[in-house]
Homo-oligomer: A and B are copies of this chain.
Amino acid sequence: MKQQDHLFLSAQTVDEASRIFKALGDPTRIKILYLLSQEECSVSHITEVLDMTQSAVSHQLSLLRKLRLVKYRREGTTLYYTYDDEHVITVLNQVLTHIKC
């Protein structure tokens, strides 16, 4: 195939895809998203389940928020996070299932 005959991806599409995959390309964020795929979670719950510092979890949630992969609601002083991108959760679960097989 000649260069001009390729089905090109726009730079925008490639960047968007790589941002999504980069978000999934870290063990901590995979664990967080997997947790959120099962249930709404407070920050302290995530912190306990993953056995990490509150700060580390909060930083990762901040990153996932920027990418609009998660959102939260407040109840008093507690913030409850949920996932905010069904498709990303589907992709994550597909890959996890594939690996476990």
Contact = CB atoms under 8 A, between A and B. Distances in A.
A96 to B, nearest CB: 6
Contacts of A94: 91, 94
B91 A38 contact: no
Contacts of A72: none
A6 interface: yes
Nearest to A98: B87
Contact of A38 (B7, B17, B48): B7
Nearest to A20: B95
A27 B15 contact: yes
Nearest to A39: B1
Interface string A13-27: 111111111111111
